[in-house]
Amino acid sequence: MSAVTATSDGSRHSAPGTLPAILAGDVGATHTRLAVFAGNPREPVVFESYASHDHAGLDEMVRTFLADHPNALEAACFGVAGPVQNGHVKTTNLAWPVDAASLARVLGLESVTLINDLAANAYGLAELAPDDLEPLNQGVAAPDGACVVISAGTGLGEAGVLFGGDGDAIRVIPTEGGHTDFGPRSELEVELYRFLAAADAHVSYERVCSGIGLLNIYRFLRRRSGTSEPAWLAAEITHRDASAAISRAALEQRDPVCTEALDMMVSIYGAEAGNLALKYLATGGVYVGGGIAPQILPKLRDGTFIRSFAAKGRFAELLGQVPVHVILNDDTALLGAAHHARAIEARIEA
């Protein structure tokens, strides 16, 4: 494979020359990342990141990408935040849709594959190394057990995973489980539910277990506490990433309401991960992905997440044996999209 170099703008590309290659995409509400893989399944020869809201659609970004990095592509697969229906995705947190046929025309390919963003993360499990994972609960994985992926970021994604299958090492069952009804477990969580229901009739797990979810919990607890928001915190929430500002203040013990908010969100996150594990009987393991988990590892390690995960009455012992890992590799969805595209090509050629 050609040597990979880095440019001043942060992009990565190979030495001049073209190779038959796979274009992989991770299309999120905040950023869209595109990469070309050729040869090494873990190392892209080209990588670019775009601010999703700064563009009119994925077609435009792909055209820009191709103009900057011409490659002889043989396949393309994109993980997109939203349900995939007949080669079309109405993105969950973006104003523009994604269409496989339109992308195929832009790329000059016979077809393009679209998969749910969590499915892309799940396929990426096949490409992860041991140091890409942080254990929260060692457990004992059942060799043939199902796995699940749950990822809190801009939204909340969930998917089931089965290892093994025809021509592909992984079978993924995509879901929109993050949009299921939030189930309060305590009087405080009932209060939170009522606070959110006053503004939106449907209170889903995504409303309490995501970047916006942490902000929602913080606002609820701030009002409930009757305390004023510190000026320094108000400035950070207004002018920076609000959830990152809250989690940072919590981890640094700079504001008690932030500390309580992060604790509450992590507890709910663990409880919903346990719900998902029971629904799939995920004795093969639970993988916690998304952009939030790596940023709050100290909090995830303190036992709050796992206590809520396993607090399932008669099934507490079973869940206590389930391995739980945080995915640390930020490129997992890209790796997964490329993995799935290669698997499809292998089946076509077989």
pLDDT band, residue 28 (cuts 50/70/90): confident
Model-level pTM? Answer: 0.87
More confident residue, 3 or 108: 108
H/E stretch holding 138 reads: none
Residue 257 predicted with pLDDT over 60: yes
Neighbours of 49 (CB within 10 A): 14
Distance of CA 1 to the CA centre of its chain: 29
Decide: 121 and 332 in contact? Cβ < 8 Å: yes
Residue 123 predicted with pLDDT over 80: yes
Three-state SS for 113?
strand
How far is 220 from 217, CA to CA, in rounded Å? 5
How far is 105 from 244, CA to CA, in rounded Å? 39
Three-state SS for 154?
coil
Mean pLDDT, the chain, whole residue set: 90
Residue 240 predicted with pLDDT over 90: no
pLDDT band, residue 317 (cuts 50/70/90): very high
Residue 76 predicted with pLDDT over 80: yes
| pLDDT on residue 165 | 52
Q: Which of 146, 148, 90 is nearest to 114 (CA)?
A: 90
| Backbone phi and psi for residue 28, each to the nearest 5 degrees, phi listed first | -115, 170
Residue 195 predicted with pLDDT over 80: yes
Average pLDDT value for residue range 137-146: 94
More confident residue, 348 or 292: 292
DSSP 8-state symbol, 196: H
How far is 199 from 181, CA to CA, in rounded Å? 15
Residue 286 predicted with pLDDT over 60: yes
Lowest mean pLDDT among 9-18, 129-138, 300-309: 9-18
Average pLDDT value for residue range 56-61: 95
Residue 14 predicted with pLDDT over 70: no
Three-state SS for 4?
strand
Average pLDDT value for residue range 258-266: 99
Average pLDDT value for residue range 318-326: 98
Average pLDDT value for residue range 154-175: 81
Residue 329 predicted with pLDDT over 80: yes
DSSP 8-state symbol, 303: S
Residue 283 predicted with pLDDT over 90: yes
How far is 322 from 141, CA to CA, in rounded Å? 6
Average pLDDT value for residue range 76-86: 92
How far is 61 from 138, CA to CA, in rounded Å? 41
Decide: 114 and 337 in contact? Cβ < 8 Å: no
Type of residue at 56: A
Could you state, in order of their start, the residue ranges of all structural domains in the chain? 4-115+340-345, 179-327
Assigned CATH class of 179-327: alpha beta
pLDDT band, residue 131 (cuts 50/70/90): very high
Decide: 132 and 270 in contact? Cβ < 8 Å: no
Average pLDDT value for residue range 72-94: 90
pLDDT band, residue 326 (cuts 50/70/90): very high
* Chain position carrying tokens 């993924």: 172
pLDDT band, residue 163 (cuts 50/70/90): confident
- CATH tag, 4-115+340-345: 3.30.420.40
pLDDT band, residue 11 (cuts 50/70/90): very low
Residue 101 predicted with pLDDT over 80: yes
| 46-51 and 88-89 beta bridge pairing | unpaired
| pLDDT on residue 52 | 92
